[in-house]
Amino acid sequence: MDRQRPRTTSDEIDLYIRTYYSLLRSSGEVWVRAFEEAHAFSDSSLHPGARTGVPDVAAFAYSAARLPACMPQVQKIVLGQSHETFEANGFDVSAWQRVQTRGRRRPLRFDGGGTLCAFISSTSDIDDLVPIVTTYQIVWNQMHGLLGNAELGRRLREDPELTAEQVDHGELARVLDLDPDGVRTLIAALDTGWFAALREIAADPCDLSMRVLSGSYSQYQRSVQRWWSGIEPSLVRERKPRRPPIYFVSSNTHSLLNLVGGYARQHREEILDFARRRNPEDLAPHFARALERGDEAEVNNLSYYLLRAFLHEDPARLAEVQRFEAEAGVTSIDVPGKIDVNAQIFDLAQVRPERLDPRVLVPDIHLLARSDAVILNIDYPLGMAAYHHLSRAGQGSNEIRGVYVMGKAATLNGRVGDVMISSVVQDEHSRNTYLFRNAFVAADVQPYIRVGTVLDNQKALTVRGAFLQNREYMSVFYREGYTVLEMEAGPYLSAVYELCNPQRHPNDEIVHLSNSVGFDVGVLHYASDTPYSRRQSLLSKSLSYFGVESTSACATAIVRRIFAAEIARLRAEEECV
């Protein structure tokens, strides 16, 4: 159905996107400074201080968390789609150091000198990386300029005896025009090597270059094919049906696993002992009080959250966990096809009811032993990569019985930790407005969440990148009732359309999916940011443990929905016999 989509009253965001794509078409390196003017005048809601002389350390923290710790040594960033592409252009990335970020899953390789190579799996990686790198450079240079003539800056540059303990945080705040919270945010952004990084900021300006190696849409498809080739051997069976029916879930690699695998619950005492000894994030008292109250849900959530730190204390435990989970039909596949989107396969016939979190126990759970289906859970990809991954999963399976998406979002009308359930998605990639019957309503999630609110009948906007929005841009959509900002729902719904129709998804139309989709479609978002609220947002504070409730509640709703749907199908088959 053709229609007039909501139009923004400003073209600054579109100009910014056109600017960096036109420049990055060059076969050579492009200086990041060439993006700075368009970036600053886009008035991004995540970087409101781009045109001031005051360092926006919240924006810097967001960017630094999504870039590797080696960034102070990086001079050139090269983007490519595969090892072959990099090697054909003289970058032997196979021999380079693997580096990671705290806030973004993306394969990165560092040569130990000045070159960082980033693997991209869709255009969304470009829309994500360019504003992140540009923000990082702008704020770095703002801080460099302020430190340049200050006595603190001189000591950081010239005094080799200066130590981190001797840096007066009050003086640092005065020089950089920050408040005490801003100094803490800056130090957290620079992570454990903050003092060395601060010396680098005082010593030299940041002048990065970027280059995108020649790529194509087919290369993105080839990349996801390599990903699927890493999953397929674990999915295809010797018995019939060789390709089992799939319930596709996009979430993370721990939420469903904790609810179904049962390791954390069965090893609760060991995890509790670890909490008492180490008291990570001061959670030991919370654990003790929850046990005293007999609060099973809270104890489980704490066990799930602390499990990762518990495993890091002794890496040998990971093999034990995987053996334990395999007994319950769980297969974990790390970095399939060298694409950083991990996957898990849950064989429903092998589910162990005694190991399940009590919240996901549904009537007649024993019937799952006769199921021929699996849950394919993938670590949610970024933006348009979601479209490629679901499309390939659909091509590689005989039957999709459900598609469920759980992810972070910003909210314009809620609070951090709330859960939003949308039935309308405006996709800024295809310019389509998708209308669909969401498998979930508030009553499916609310029983498992105490602090947050569950808001259904919402409208979501799938943006091209976290920085590619501003107040003027969003005000148009807010007037139309769009209150959820996220990055994956639109691409997933474009893939759903193609799973159910004989042609590719349209563009710039209203697309009704409700009547054409023969399987469940469920989309749940938990609020991780409130960009237009005066309340503290995730630019400066992580959800940490207190985000577990909303993610656990969403995962519980998804697992219950899958179990109930599969049991209903098995009952119907039983009645027909």
Count helices and strands (H / E) in the chain: 21, 17
Q: Write down the pLDDT at residue 533.
A: 57
What length does the chain have?
577
Question: Which residues are paired to 545 by β-bridges?
Answer: none
Diameter of the chain measured on Cα atoms = 85
86 to each of 23, 73, 76, 215, how far by Cα in Å?
20, 20, 14, 11
Cα 521 to Cα 538: distance, rounded to the nearest angstrom: 28
Cα 289 to Cα 355: distance, rounded to the nearest angstrom: 24
Cα 176 to Cα 172: distance, rounded to the nearest angstrom: 6
Q: Which amino acid is at 365?
A: I
Cα 457 to Cα 446: distance, rounded to the nearest angstrom: 14
Average pLDDT over residues 225-243: 89
Q: Which amino acid is at 102?
A: R
Are 100 and 360 in contact by the 8 Å Cβ rule? The answer is: no
The pLDDT tens digits for 437-479 are 999 999 999 999 988 899 999 999 999 998 998 888 788 888 8
Which one, of 438, 371, 370, lies nearest residue 403 by Cα? Answer: 438
Provide, rounded to the nearest whole percent, the portion of the chain with pLDDT above 90: 70
With cut-offs at 50, 70 and 90, classify the pLDDT of residue 8: low
Cα 45 to Cα 471: distance, rounded to the nearest angstrom: 6
Cα 569 to Cα 226: distance, rounded to the nearest angstrom: 33
- Give residues with Cβ within 8 angstroms of 431, minimum separation 6: 5, 507, 508
Backbone angles phi, psi at 531, to 5 degrees: -65, -20
Q: Write down the pLDDT at residue 75.
A: 97
Residue 103 predicted with pLDDT over 90 = no
Neighbouring CB atoms inside 10 A of 341's CB total: 25
Average pLDDT over residues 100-117: 92
Residue 68 predicted with pLDDT over 70 = yes
Are 49 and 184 in contact by the 8 Å Cβ rule? The answer is: no
Q: Write down the pLDDT at residue 1.
A: 44
The pLDDT tens digits for 477-523 are 888 899 999 999 999 999 999 999 999 999 999 999 988 899 999 99
Task: Transcribe 320-371 into DSSP letters.
Answer: HHHHHHHTTTEEEE-SGGG-S--EEEEEGGG--GGGS-GGG--TTGGGGGG-
Neighbouring CB atoms inside 10 A of 253's CB total: 17
Report residue 84 as tokens: 């072959």
- Give residues with Cβ within 8 angstroms of 182, minimum separation 6: 57, 58, 173, 176
With cut-offs at 50, 70 and 90, classify the pLDDT of residue 563: very high
Residue 154, SS3 per DSSP: helix
Q: What is the value of pTM for the model shown?
A: 0.91
396 to each of 244, 405, 560, how far by Cα in Å?
10, 19, 25
The pLDDT tens digits for 397-425 are 989 999 999 999 988 888 888 999 999 99
Cα 103 to Cα 129: distance, rounded to the nearest angstrom: 12
Which one, of 379, 394, 421, 417, lies nearest residue 523 by Cα? Answer: 421
Provide, rounded to the nearest whole percent, the portion of the chain with pLDDT above 70: 94
Which one, of 418, 415, 436, lies nearest residue 426 by Cα? Answer: 436
The pLDDT tens digits for 275-290 are 999 988 888 888 889 9
Cα 508 to Cα 528: distance, rounded to the nearest angstrom: 29
Report residue 310 as tokens: 């518990």
* Rg of the chain over all Cα atoms, to the nearest angstrom: 24
Report residue 520 as tokens: 């469940």
Our CA dihedral for 420, 421, 423, 429, rounded to 10 degrees, sits at 50
The pLDDT tens digits for 350-399 are 999 999 999 999 999 999 999 999 999 999 899 999 999 999 999 999 89
Pairing mode of beta strands 433-435, 510-512: parallel
pLDDT averaged over every residue in the chain: 90
Q: Write down the pLDDT at residue 573.
A: 85
